[in-house]
Structure 1
């Protein structure tokens, strides 16, 4: 039998991952965090927020697979073994979940549903002013797989949609901006800002007081990427001033979100516990299986990540 596959995560999907991997690879020596056994046998690691230094303790590891589409949780480990390829999953199921999350909160804001809920509680029949869809401009930060899918779906709904990315990209029906020079222009035309950027050295703290001030007054913010992009104090100040009319936040600088954090009770903030997109073994496993086969055959891997850039 080939080397062992270690599932390094506190999530409860280990049984499902073993099942889908065996369907594609045949019998596997599958280990979990609580039962790693002989570490010398481990050649593939499937990881989500692994304990620091653990992967380095596997002397014969040949492939590290991020169980999320982001890899910042891996690169935070300064003892990660050098020279071992890191790949990220490509999960159409997760991509779809993420776009659903963005669409839900954007439409809830766009159609003033919270105001109608308040009117219902007060037993008031109170129509709100209507904003035409063509006047509600969507801006998606990050144009990878998730960002492209999200932007495309908003455009299909009739919203003027733009995207911003680190480097230039061209997408049908989407106005695109890139780089530092394009960021201010992108923010200035965005009424609903959706963050799906990866967390890197360049994007950490990107959404600060200057960025929120660059948005049109009353803009709405949806963060389903990483909490590290946001300077919390700046967002809270923008909410309190009315510069930002509301925020739906799924990710945070500290997770779980501390019980005393102002986001929990802020009247303009909706908090969800990092559930915008969950890795689905059924839809994520084909790419993982293909990379394991490629690794064992000495072939080039798919969706590799450069540890220096985080992409």
Structure 2
């Protein structure tokens, strides 16, 4: 029997994904038709972007899984009509890109590169930074991305502490959890990286209270989700010198409005949501493997826990 796979995403996504998806599905030996239009009752799998016009999943009674092209699922996980299994995207290419962004900006702030790159007064300042083992880093969020970034930083000798809402055991990375663990993880962190999922429980994880726990002058890197940080609290902490710098890749509203104070703040770096992106070539293999698993009766990869929201 030929499978019907509905691609429910934008025209731009279709242009990027159609060829690699067909190749990846064929490589798994799956007889399938990849299409942008199909009768709902005939669809076996939906490849999905949460920005899609498809928002009512109830008619897709034969659909065995909804396979998201996005790593974040906050825009779909609360959809009451979605009763099919939902799988988020964990793309090796996206992970590599995130690791590179996090390591690059960690090293930038650790080495104090900005004062040499931007030095209009030609100031000769021979002050040397500490070595990596003297610069504690805390990783908020120890999922696939957080763990990969934590391991990369630890390989460079940064002392990395991981924190997550629930207990995690990552070889070589001490991990804390819960409210008490968060306070402990922040209390020594000179650099904090936020890679938590966006859920009601994680919103404003960094707020006036938690920012005050950090050592004075600590640096914030946020390539995770904009709502993880209370914007007003962060600006106040920057103005007070409690936070030395914030490099932000994600925001509550994107593109970041031109009048937002982050743009003009001297201790804020804005990057335009480029820390990591799904690569069609590698993501297509993840999707094809999940379709193969569905047909073989095996557990799906990266299935979302609807109760936890990720």
Q: How does the TM-score come out when normalised to structure 1?
A: 0.90
Aligned length: 304
Structure 2 residues without counterparts, runs of 5 or longer: none
Deviation at residue 117 of structure 1 after TM alignment: 2.2
Q: How does the TM-score come out when normalised to structure 2?
A: 0.91
What is the CA–CA distance in structure 2 between the aligned matches of 1:31 and 1:111, rounded to whole Å? Answer: 50
SS at match of 2:75: helix
CA contact (8 A) 2:94 2:278 kept: yes
- Between 40-49 and 203-212, the greater mean CA deviation after superposition: 40-49
What is the CA–CA distance in structure 2 between the aligned matches of 1:175 and 1:68, rounded to whole Å? Answer: 29
SS at match of 1:140: strand
CA contact (8 A) 1:6 1:42 kept: no
Give per-residue Cα distances to partners, 1:193-237, cap 9 Å, x unaligned.
001111112111211111111111100000011001111100111
2:251: which partner in 1? 252
Higher relative contact order (CA 8 A, sep 6+): 2
1:100: which partner in 2? 100
Q: 1:171 to 1:300 in 2, by over 3 A?
A: closer
What is the CA–CA distance in structure 2 between the aligned matches of 1:167 and 1:57, rounded to whole Å? Answer: 33
Give per-residue Cα distances to partners, 1:153-208, cap 9 Å, x unaligned.
11111111111012222223222111112010000011100011111121112111
- Between 67-76 and 239-248, the greater mean CA deviation after superposition: 67-76
SS at match of 2:57: helix
1:171: which partner in 2? 170
CA contact (8 A) 1:42 1:58 kept: no
**Counterparts of residues 149-188 of structure 1 (less than 5 Å):** 149-188=148-187
The answer as to 2:196 corresponding to 1:197 is: yes
CA contact (8 A) 2:137 2:191 kept: yes
SS at match of 1:29: strand
Q: Superposition RMSD on alpha carbons, in Å?
A: 2.0
What is the CA–CA distance in structure 1 between the aligned matches of 2:168 and 2:44, rounded to whole Å? Answer: 36
**Counterparts of residues 61-80 of structure 1 (less than 5 Å):** 61-75=63-77, 78-79=79-80
CA contact (8 A) 1:66 1:74 kept: no
What is the CA–CA distance in structure 1 between the aligned matches of 2:237 and 2:148, rounded to whole Å? Answer: 29
What is the CA–CA distance in structure 2 between the aligned matches of 1:194 and 1:64, rounded to whole Å? Answer: 30
CA contact (8 A) 2:22 2:34 kept: no
Deviation at residue 40 of structure 1 after TM alignment: 4.3
Q: 1:136 to 1:112 in 2, by over 3 A?
A: same
SS at match of 2:87: strand
CA contact (8 A) 1:9 1:49 kept: no
CA contact (8 A) 1:4 1:31 kept: yes
What is the CA–CA distance in structure 2 between the aligned matches of 1:51 and 1:259, rounded to whole Å? Answer: 27
1:264: which partner in 2? 263
Deviation at residue 258 of structure 1 after TM alignment: 1.4
2:34: which partner in 1? 30
2:118: which partner in 1? 118
SS at match of 2:23: helix
CA contact (8 A) 2:212 2:242 kept: yes
What is the CA–CA distance in structure 2 between the aligned matches of 1:148 and 1:41, rounded to whole Å? Answer: 39
Q: 1:62 to 1:214 in 2, by over 3 A?
A: same
What is the CA–CA distance in structure 2 between the aligned matches of 1:236 and 1:197, rounded to whole Å? Answer: 21
- Between 143-152 and 49-58, the greater mean CA deviation after superposition: 49-58
SS at match of 1:72: coil
